[in-house]
Homo-oligomer: A and B are copies of this chain.
Amino acid sequence: MSVLSGIHPVAEALRAARPLDRILIAQGAGGPRLQEIIDLARRAGVPVRFEPRSALERLAGSSAHQGIVALGAARQYAEIDSLLESSLLVVLDGVEDPHNLGAIVRTAHAAGAGGIVIPERRAASVTDVVAKAAAGALEHLPVARVSNVNRALEELKRAGYWIYGLDERGAETYDRIDYAARSVIVLGGEGKGLHEQVRKHCDLLVRIPMAGKISSLNVSVAAGIVLFEWRKRAAAP
């Protein structure tokens, strides 16, 4: 867990869209600059709480916190370049639920993936909730955060990856594919699936054939089914 304190550092972190878990403001503190931070935080979806000054001092390690402390994810994000050694990468196109993101990190690590790529906007970032759901896997699996998923997919293609998008309209079923030696699995957001542009960037759209009367699975369950199919085939002699 990283701790930022003071008006300027916290405002900057919010403007740079750095992943913040929550913001604490000293009870009784106020003024236009704090109000501006509260507004920025609301727009960014970062929770704001009012706490006694003593709590802020303890967290900031000093009394020079100007009435504001932000708690951020401890993890630094990886650069996408640093992931290109891996034979399996996972790209998430807008997974919003932090429990799902955490479960996918845990699953991807257990399936042998070398990294996850997530978008900066309209998606869960790596917070404490994610770390908890990932059950320790975040310590081992690098996460890259990109401003544009389509551009990231183009970069991965240039690096020799074959891009498989999971889509209920996919032409092939996930279990009849001879996965490439360097595979990227792309998963869409809850209830929305892949964006049209992202779908066009995939080399192949694959689906999971299902019984029953509902048309989709929880995204972390779908990730498990496809990633472990990849793993089985990669581990096969």
Contacts and interface: CB of A to CB of B under 8 A. Distances in A.
A28 interface: no
A137 interface: yes
Number of copies of this chain that the complex holds: 2
A50 interface: no
Nearest to A236: B175
B218 A133 contact: yes
A135 interface: yes
A208 B221 contact: no
Contact of A213 (B103, B111, B136, B221): B136
A75 to B, nearest CB: 16
Interface residues of A, number: 36
Contact of A228 (B111, B136, B208): B208
Interface string A177-216: 0000000000000000000000000000000111111101
A110 B214 CA distance: 7
Contacts of A231: 211
A8 interface: no
A209 to B, nearest CB: 7
A133 to B, nearest CB: 7
Nearest to A235: B209
Interface of A: 99, 103, 106-107, 109-112, 133, 135-137, 139-141, 175, 208-214, 216-218, 220-225, 228, 231-232, 235
8 contacts: A106-B221, A109-B214, A112-B211, A133-B218, A136-B214, A208-B228, A217-B224, A221-B223
